[in-house]
């Protein structure tokens, strides 16, 4: 089980540890974004600090209708206590955790400031 909280800004967040290929780890707060179909976004400085390898380029259509091109890297996330290989989209915003990482899990959110966020594996 993974636990987090709802912030005063009404964001559901969890702490996530991400590992680079040389074992370097960084823990940071990630906002759960059910409108994002990828695994994780991270800003360039996190990607550089972890030394993540570039895997490919991606394209996305943003909520405002504009298109963007971005780099996609590979990392290992410690997910529910287990290392899991994930894609990391380079985006210069606070880290977002998307539906690909949540797939196969149940997300429960108490949507009040300080509310519980719980992520449990589905049977």
Q: What domains does the chain contain, in order, with CATH numbers?
A: 13-103 (2.40.70.10)
Contact 86, 47 (CB under 8 A): no
Characterize 47-60 residue by residue with b for buried, 16 or more Cβ atoms within 10 angstroms of its Cβ, and e for exposed.
beebebeeeeeeee
Q: What digits encode the pLDDT tens for the residues 107-122?
A: 999 999 999 999 999 9
Determine the Cα angle at 9 with ends 12 and 25, to 5°: 50
pTM score over 0.85: yes
Beta strands 25-32 and 105-109 are unpaired
Digit-coded pLDDT (tens) for 70-108: 999 999 999 999 999 999 999 998 999 999 999 999 999
Strand partners, 56: 72
């Amino acid at each position: 089980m993974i636990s987090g909280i709802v912030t005063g800004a009404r964001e559901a967040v969890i702490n996530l540890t991400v590992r680079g290929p040389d074992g370097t780890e960084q823990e940071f707060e990630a906002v759960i974004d059910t409108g994002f179909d990828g695994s994780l976004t991270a800003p360039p400085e996190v990607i550089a600090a972890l030394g993540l390898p570039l895997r490919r380029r991606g394209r996305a259509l943003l909520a405002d209708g504009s298109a963007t091109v971005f780099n996609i890297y590979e990392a290992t996330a410690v997910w529910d206590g287990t290392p899991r290989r994930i894609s990391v989209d380079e985006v210069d915003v606070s880290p977002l955790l998307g539906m690909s990482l949540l797939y196969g899990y149940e997300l429960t959110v108490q949507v009040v400031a300080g509310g519980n966020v719980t992520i449990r594996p589905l049977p």
